[in-house]
Amino acid sequence: MGLLVVGSIALDSVVTPFGETADALGGAAVFFSMAGAVLHPVQVVGVVGNDFPETHLKKLAARGVDLAGVERKQGESFRWKARYSYDLNSRETLETRLGVFAEFQPRIPDKFRDAKFVFLGNIDPELQLNVLDQVKQPKLVACDTMNYWIEKEFKSLLETLKLVDILIINDAETRELAGESNLYRAGRKILSWGPRALVIKRGEYGVVMMKDRSMFGAPAYPLEDVFDPTGAGDSFAGGFVGYLAGCGELSDAAIRKAIIFGSVMASFNVEKFSLDRLRNLTFPEIQGRFREFKQLTHFEGLE
Ligand code: AMP
């Protein structure tokens, strides 16, 4: 079952209290693919400029990621610069240079159109709709968005949400999208607009999933060394959708398990800069951390 992601492929320059990177491999579609590919083969659609190092793309290819949907265009690649606060809980975007990403028109190669699992990365909701028009009959559509689209393209975002099964956004985006300060009230409102489930990422406080009749929460893995939170949300999404594509099931139990796999992938991602941790991650390491999560939250049978 094909797993398709559409989103940014970037050169990131990031400063954290522990170091910095310049023009490192980044972008939502990249973090998603690198995390997802450990669990299920991933197909990427995105755009890079002629300055994008071939060595960066080779890192994805080495993970088995299918890059047939990555267009190389004349011009500069998308560049993003950010600085994190001392506790890594907030970041300031210093610069966003869209380059060729500004004119991005996703073209899904024929061989990707049968994809059964689709992740719409954080792009213009009109383009997200356009991607869905090109995919034949997906079994699951998951989607991300950000404050920019909530503020500028609210109407088309609502149209996209009607076709989305699972929306994966952070707590601030949840509140802003719904125009509600209470997170759960906000979540309830968003669910009434179409998605069958809403997964709310809460950084170091973990994740909450809301569905029509049930909720599920998971803490973040208690890491003592966090170096670079960039891409935590996208690697969560990669682990989450990657697990579902791998098991091919959408039961409540599978979705709960996918949340733990997502949390595991995000926890590994932040241990090193850029994609340095995910690149070499092995499946046994993932299984080990999955078991630790089980211990961390286990209270069944306790009186
Ligand atoms: P996250 O930390 O999960 O929010 O993801 C950060 C990644 O998103 C970085 O690798 C950036 O290159 C990418 N990114 C930042 N701003 C945008 C944007 N406006 N559109 C698409 N991707 C972005």
| Distance in Å, CA 80 to ligand 1 centroid | 7
Q: Give the residue, by CA position, lying nearest to ligand 1 atom 10.
A: 27
16 lines ligand 1 (CB under 6 A): no
28-36 vs 252-269: helix axis angle to the nearest 10?
110
pLDDT at residue 263 in the model: 98
Q: Give the residue, by CA position, lying nearest to ligand 1 atom 5.
A: 231
Beta bridge partners of 209: 199, 216
> Has residue 300 got a pLDDT over 90?
no
Strand order in 3-6's β-sheet? Answer: 66-73, 43-49, 3-6, 117-120, 140-143, 166-170, 197-201, 207-211, 215-218
Q: Among the atoms of ligand 1, which is closest to the Cα of residue 96?
A: 16
Count Cβ atoms within 10 A of the Cβ of residue 97 and give its class: 0-12 exposed, 13-18 middle, 19 or more buried.
middle
Question: Average pLDDT, whole number, for the chain?
Answer: 97
Percent of the chain with pLDDT over 70: 100
33 lines ligand 1 (CB under 6 A): no
Q: Which two tokens stand for residue 106?
A: 């996703």
pTM more than 0.75: yes
Dump pLDDT digits (tens) for 114-143. Answer: 999 999 999 999 999 999 999 999 999 999
Q: Give the residue, by CA position, lying nearest to ligand 1 atom 11.
A: 27
| Distance in Å, CA 193 to ligand 1 centroid | 25
> Has residue 238 got a pLDDT over 80?
yes
Question: What is the mean predicted confidence (pLDDT) over 263-268?
Answer: 98
Calculate the dihedral angle through the C-alpha atoms of 249, 159, 34, 93, rounding to the nearest 10 degrees.
Answer: -150
> Has residue 303 got a pLDDT over 80?
no
Instruction: Compute the C-alpha angle 86/88/94, nearest 5°.
Output: 85
Q: Which two tokens stand for residue 59?
A: 């890192």
> Has residue 1 got a pLDDT over 90?
no
| Distance in Å, CA 59 to ligand 1 centroid | 19
Question: What is the mean predicted confidence (pLDDT) over 248-255?
Answer: 95
pLDDT at residue 85 in the model: 95
Pairing of strands 24-26, 10-16: antiparallel
Dump pLDDT digits (tens) for 39-82. Answer: 999 999 999 999 999 999 999 999 999 999 999 999 999 999 99
DSSP 143: E
Dump pLDDT digits (tens) for 70-83. Answer: 999 999 999 999 99
Model confidence at 301, pLDDT cuts 50, 70, 90, reads confident
Pairing of strands 117-120, 140-143: parallel
Q: Among the atoms of ligand 1, which is closest to the Cα of residue 91?
A: 2
Q: Give the residue, by CA position, lying nearest to ligand 1 atom 18.
A: 122
Q: Which of 93, 122, 152, 270 to mutate to test the pocket of ligand 1 (most atoms within 8 A of CB)?
A: 122
Dump pLDDT digits (tens) for 149-173. Answer: 999 999 999 999 999 999 999 999 9
Question: What is the mean predicted confidence (pLDDT) over 213-242?
Answer: 96
Q: Give the residue, by CA position, lying nearest to ligand 1 atom 9.
A: 27
Q: Give the residue, by CA position, lying nearest to ligand 1 atom 21.
A: 8
Question: What is the mean predicted confidence (pLDDT) over 227-255?
Answer: 97
8 lines ligand 1 (CB under 6 A): yes
Residue 11 — left, alpha, or beta (φ > 0 → left; ψ -120 to 50 → alpha)?
beta
CA distance 114 to 98: 30
| Distance in Å, CA 197 to ligand 1 centroid | 23
For residue 159, which phi and psi values (nearest 5 degrees)?
Answer: -65, -45
> Has residue 232 got a pLDDT over 90?
yes
CA distance 260 to 1: 21
Model confidence at 204, pLDDT cuts 50, 70, 90, reads very high
pLDDT at residue 28 in the model: 98
Own/partner pairs, 18-26, CB within 8 angstroms, 24+ separation = 18/227, 18/228, 19/227, 19/228, 19/273, 21/228, 21/273, 21/274, 23/79, 24/273, 24/274, 24/275, 25/56, 25/59, 25/274, 25/275, 26/80, 26/230, 26/231, 26/274, 26/275
